Amino acid sequence: MFRFLRIAILLTILLVVAGRQFLAPERLNSWDKPLWVTIYPVLVEADPATRRYVKSLTPRAFDAINEFLKQQAARYGFSLEQPVVIQVADPLTTAPPPALPTENSGLGVALWSLKMRWWVWRHSRQDGLAPADAKMFVLYQQSKPGQLMERSVGVRNGAFGIVNAEASRQMTARNRVIITHELLHILGAVDRYDMASGQPLAPDGLANPQQSPLYPQQRAEIMAGRIATSAHGWRRPATLKSCVIGAATAAEIGWL
């Protein structure tokens, strides 16, 4: 009896969570009011340095994202006083979210997406937080030599992002680049780099596709996330100051 009840309850929750994605998702990229974004720092490891770093984070640590969006919107004739309002939640000490599916199989992704929604729902409620349009879970960790960090994702249908970030002052600005990239996914932007090589895809993945000669580029298109130094070479931007929002991305997020 108890087992039956448990399954019934789980199924109901799953249906409610799943059902919400079939309702028309709220248009997040209408830009008629500021977009509320909650950053949830997640402590996935018990490292004192990580904890100290996370404790030092305030909304001001993310101001540059607002500044960046404001400046870039202006290039497209959009005057946004405050594109985003960012609030920072209390750090979560929890097991990492469900691991990303290793392959892009439809079922694997669908299952992951369902498990993620459940995880987001369970971990996003906190007293004193205004309801957010988008939730970014930033998994802060120390960099481990020879070990690549998990990739980050921004999921439009669900309006959440999972960002793997290095917990260090030197990386704060770069983390903002990743957070912004994933946030723009939520707003409808797609990737503009080659998945295998990381190479920005010309022309839309280049910050300045009109430049002559085309390479080296000076900045990164935010959805390419990399500065193309040649047709077969790239480097990562250290800050949002080295990034732009290209016309194709601008169109996807409702600026054109």
Residues that bind Zn ion (CB under 5 A): 191
Q: How many residues does the chain have?
A: 256
- State in angstroms the smallest separation of the CB of 7 from Zn ion: 36
50 vs 204, beta carbon nearer Zn ion? 204
Nearest to 204 by CA among 70, 214, 213: 214
50 vs 185, beta carbon nearer Zn ion? 185
- State in angstroms the smallest separation of the CB of 46 from Zn ion: 29
54 vs 161, beta carbon nearer Zn ion? 161
- State in angstroms the smallest separation of the CB of 206 from Zn ion: 16
Calpha distance 1→7 (Å, rounded): 10
- State in angstroms the smallest separation of the CB of 227 from Zn ion: 16
Backbone phi, psi, residue 84, to 5°: -130, 150
191 vs 194, beta carbon nearer Zn ion? 191
Q: Which residue is nearest to Zn ion (CB)?
A: 191
Residue 107, number of CB atoms within 10 A of its CB: 8
Pairing of strands 35-43, 92-93: parallel
53 vs 234, beta carbon nearer Zn ion? 234
End-to-end C-alpha distance for the chain, whole angstroms: 57
- State in angstroms the smallest separation of the CB of 241 from Zn ion: 20
DSSP secondary structure letters along 133-160: SEEEEEEEE---TT-PPPP-EEETTTTE
